[in-house]
């Protein structure tokens, strides 16, 4: 829709490169915070800025009515690799009904769809119930600011229902209600050998090489069969119920072919005894994300590095405990290290796996709102990703959770050419409008 005010607002927000992972973008992250906070302030919300980019904003124009919370994050992933973008990541570009930009679907488009519904309600005499926004700028780095803010201030943030829109439809035309998110334990594994970098011609064959040692360690953490080898890793894994798995098997999506086409991978990997969807939703896993140290340039340098670093994460499922797994991983890595190399394992972030009730007035309202806005009832699904603050929203606020998303499976979140369907954006706005009406008694 040319000139649509909701789209224009989204494009403005997409132009702000609010990359939380990179310190050089700190001022931009703050600019995105101020942009969002300013907009809520302009709508008549009482806005409080908390530490670490937290925005807590409330409109309590319906004394005695219930409070609907809306969650989102305005920070985005780094845009690299830049040369794979068809148009620049922070210049939103519309093609074939999609807007392309970093953060389009994760999470600016989804956040803006929710905000837009509130804006439209404000222009029509105000929503039928009270609204609380809880928004953060550190989601993509597992930051603890909003989780801590929610825990510390729970008693002055009464919230009956909260809508967390930061995921996607399992398939086009198929909205979902999320019943569980995986947790995450992200660690830096460091290996240290000689006291300084050495010439490999002079010392190769005798000097312990921490990069070789790190490579041994990393390759031992997960077998070729997809099993993580950390002792005790699977001890607390609770299998999904037969009913759950049966429900998933009925969803005609995420078969091997679909996953191969979305990922561009010729074959899938992982535990062969579980279906692909079970592997993503209900099984834990481990991935290496990067290695640093030694020579990273184009040509060659014959160095034995003094240190090497591996970035590794584990996706966790109920009832795995990140702290227990960290303790076991530390012992295991120390055992795997080769002589002369010292290792350390430092956590970068922790998030517990979390499950949500789907039998509440909030989820009943969400089902109706999805049917009205998207013409389809949501299916019950899990998600493989993590949204850390959902733990606190559920535990500390005690709010009824609606966890879902307006993205599509091929939106390429975290990848080059991330995009959001503008149709999903507008229907997402309608969903939020209907949700407010239904929960407000309409
Ligand atoms: N929106 C995603 C999480 C997500 C992905 C939910 C797919 C549902 C389906 C979120 O922005 C994200 O990327 N989270 C990080 C959290 C981490 C850095 C603590 C993740 O899952 O890697
Ligand atoms: Mn997100
Ligand atoms: Mn993300």
Return the HEC string of 382-407: EECCCCCCHHHHHHCCCCEEEEECCE
pLDDT of residue 57: 98
Interhelix angle 26-42/109-122, nearest 10 degrees: 20
Arithmetic mean of pLDDT, 148-162: 98
Asked whether 143 lines ligand 1 (CB < 6 A), one says no
Rounded distance between C-alpha atoms, residue 163 and residue 191, angstroms: 43
Ligand 1 atom closest to residue 405's alpha carbon, by position in its atom list: 8
Interhelix angle 5-14/26-42, nearest 10 degrees: 160
Per-residue pLDDT tens over the stretch 394-438: 999 999 999 999 999 899 999 999 999 999 999 999 999 999 999
Ligand 1 atom closest to residue 167's alpha carbon, by position in its atom list: 8
pLDDT of residue 254: 62
Asked whether 170 lines ligand 1 (CB < 6 A), one says no
Asked whether 165 lines ligand 1 (CB < 6 A), one says no
Per-residue pLDDT tens over the stretch 356-377: 999 999 999 999 999 999 999 9
pLDDT of residue 442: 62
pLDDT at 174 over 80: yes
| 135, 147, 263, 386, best to mutate for ligand 1 pocket (most atoms within 8 Å of CB) | 386
Arithmetic mean of pLDDT, 88-114: 98
Beta-carbon contacts of residue 384 (< 8 Å; ≥ 6 apart): 182, 280, 281, 315
Ligand 1 atom closest to residue 388's alpha carbon, by position in its atom list: 19
Which ligand lies nearest to the CA atom of residue 413 in the structure?
A: 3
CA of 321 to the centre of ligand 1 (A): 18
pLDDT at 337 over 80: yes
pLDDT at 53 over 70: yes
pLDDT at 221 over 80: yes
Place of tokens 């034995």: 304
pLDDT at 253 over 70: no
pLDDT at 256 over 90: no
Asked whether 349 lines ligand 1 (CB < 6 A), one says yes
pLDDT of residue 188: 98
Taking alpha carbons only, the member of 99, 137, 134, 202 closest to residue 408 is: 99
CA of 385 to the centre of ligand 1 (A): 5
Per-residue pLDDT tens over the stretch 192-220: 999 999 999 999 999 999 999 999 999 99
């Amino acid at each position: 829709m040319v000139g649509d005010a909701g789209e224009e607002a989204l494009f403005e927000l997409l132009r702000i490169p609010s990359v939380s992972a990179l310190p050089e973008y700190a001022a931009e992250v703050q600019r995105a915070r101020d942009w969002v906070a300013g907009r809520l302030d302009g709508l008549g919300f009482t806005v409080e800025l908390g530490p670490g980019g937290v925005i807590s904003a409330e409109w309590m124009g319906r004394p005695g009515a219930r409070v609907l919370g809306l969650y989102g994050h305005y920070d985005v992933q780094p845009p690299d690799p830049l040369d794979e973008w068809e148009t620049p990541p922070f210049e939103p570009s519309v093609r074939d009904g999609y807007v392309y930009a970093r953060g389009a679907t994760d999470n600016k488009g989804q956040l803006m769809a929710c905000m837009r519904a509130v804006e439209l309600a404000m222009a029509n005499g105000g929503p039928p119930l009270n609204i609380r926004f809880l928004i953060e700028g550190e989601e993509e780095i597992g930051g603890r600011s909003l989780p801590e803010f929610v825990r510390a201030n729970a008693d002055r943030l009464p919230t009956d229902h909260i809508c967390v829109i930061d995921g996607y439809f399992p398939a086009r035309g198929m909205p979902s209600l999320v019943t569980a998110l995986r947790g995450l334990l992200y660690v830096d594994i460091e290996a240290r050998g000689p006291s300084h970098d050495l010439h490999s011609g002079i010392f190769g064959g005798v000097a312990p090489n921490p990069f070789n040692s790190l490579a041994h360690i990393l390759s031992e953490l997960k077998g070729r069969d997809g099993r993580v080898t950390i002792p005790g890793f699977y001890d607390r894994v609770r299998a999904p119920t037969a009913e759950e798995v049966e429900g998933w098997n009925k969803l005609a999506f995420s078969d091997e072919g679909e996953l191969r086409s979305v990922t561009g991978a010729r074959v899938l990997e992982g535990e062969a005894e579980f279906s692909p969807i079970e592997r993503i939703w209900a099984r834990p896993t481990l991935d290496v994300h990067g290695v640093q140290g030694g020579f990273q340039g184009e040509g060659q340098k014959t160095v034995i590095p003094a240190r090497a670093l591996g970035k590794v994460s584990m996706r966790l499922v109920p009832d795995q405990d990140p702290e227990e797994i960290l303790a076991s991983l530390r012992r295991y890595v120390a055992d795997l290290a080769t002589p002369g190399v010292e290792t350390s394992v430092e956590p970068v972030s922790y998030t517990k796996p979390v499950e949500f009730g789907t039998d509440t007035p909030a989820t009943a309202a969400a089902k109706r709102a999805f049917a009205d806005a998207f013409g389809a009832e949501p299916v019950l699904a899990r998600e493989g990703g993590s949204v850390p603050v959902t733990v606190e929203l559920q535990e500390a606020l005690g709010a009824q959770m609606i966890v879902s998303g307006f993205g599509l499976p091929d939106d390429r979140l975290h990848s080059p050419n991330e995009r959001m369907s503008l149709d999903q954006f507008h229907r997402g706005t309608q969903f939020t409008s209907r949700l407010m009406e239904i929960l407000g008694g309409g």
